[in-house]
Structures are given as C-alpha cells and as structure tokens.
C-alpha cells in the first residue's frame, strides 16, 4: 500500500491491494511452493502499476463461475473486474499471473 501511494496511485490503492491479495492467495492455495510478488510502474501510452505474482506451478488459472453458496472461486473474477488488464505468462516450470492498473502521472490532469 505504501508503494502504491508513493507512486501516485492513492485513488486506486484499495483496488490494487485487493487484486494483489487475490493473486497472492491463489498462488499460495493452489501451489506447493512460495510466491514471488513484484510491484512496479510500467511506462507506455498510459502509466500503469503492475502486480506480478510468480509461482512454481505450471497449472494455468482460469476464470470460473462460483456457485451462489460457494466460499471460493471468485478471486480471478475480482481481479478481472478491478484491474484494467490481467494475464498469465508461462515461465519455465512455473508461471506469472499479473494485473495492471492505469494510474495518472502526478500533476497530470
């Protein structure tokens, strides 16, 4: 949260924190190893804050519909709704699940 605020994304801090929490939780619940979390600013046509969560499982996550009374199965749905874009990059014997949030440059209108 401190990094998100320091990078000028205070207005989206709750969304970013919730999406990161969901990706981290998925990595820890559905894999046997640790997760590596990286948060960085990506420049391009829009300035974006990117959350990467790497794990050692080659199993790719997928959006799924959770039942009304189910206690799990909504994590990626939340990420899909909160983030501007998200995806999965295979990495050798593991993967990186990531999401990005467009954030304004400080001082920009």
- Per the structure, the count of domains in the chain is 1
The CATH number covering residue 40 comes to: 3.30.565.10
Residue 49 lies in a domain: yes
Task: Write the DSSP string, the chain.
Answer: -HHHHHTT-GGGHHHHHHHHHHHHHHHHHHSSS--EEEEEEE-SSS-EEEEEEEES--PPP---PPPTT-SSS-HHHHHHHHSSEEEEEEETTEEEEEEEEE-PPTT--
Which domain covers residue 39, as residue numbers? 2-60+73-102
Residue 66 lies in a domain: no
Mean pLDDT of the chain: 87
Is pLDDT above 80 for 102? Answer: yes
Average pLDDT over residues 6-28: 92
The confidence band for 105, taking pLDDT boundaries of 50, 70 and 90, is confident
Residue 26 lies in a domain: yes
The confidence band for 9, taking pLDDT boundaries of 50, 70 and 90, is confident
Write the pLDDT tens digit of every residue in 36-81.
999 999 988 889 999 999 999 998 887 777 666 655 667 899 999 9
Is pLDDT above 90 for 88? Answer: yes
Is pLDDT above 60 for 107? Answer: no
Candidate from 9-18, 22-31, 59-68 with smallest mean pLDDT: 59-68
Residue 40 lies in a domain: yes
Residue 80 lies in a domain: yes
Is pLDDT above 50 for 109? Answer: no
Residue 16 lies in a domain: yes
Residue 68 lies in a domain: no
Residue 67 lies in a domain: no
């Amino acid at each position: 949260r401190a990094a998100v605020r320091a990078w000028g994304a205070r207005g989206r801090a709750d969304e970013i924190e919730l999406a990161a929490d969901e990706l981290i939780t998925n990595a820890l619940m559905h894999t046997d190893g640790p997760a590596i979390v990286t948060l960085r600013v990506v420049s391009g046509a829009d300035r974006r804050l990117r959350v990467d969560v790497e794990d050692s499982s080659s199993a790719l996550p997928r959006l799924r519909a959770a039942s009304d009374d189910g206690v799990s199965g909504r994590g990626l749905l939340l990420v899909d709704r909160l983030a501007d874009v998200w995806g999965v990059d295979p990495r050798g014997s593991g993967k990186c699940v990531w999401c990005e949030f467009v954030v304004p440059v400080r001082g920009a209108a």
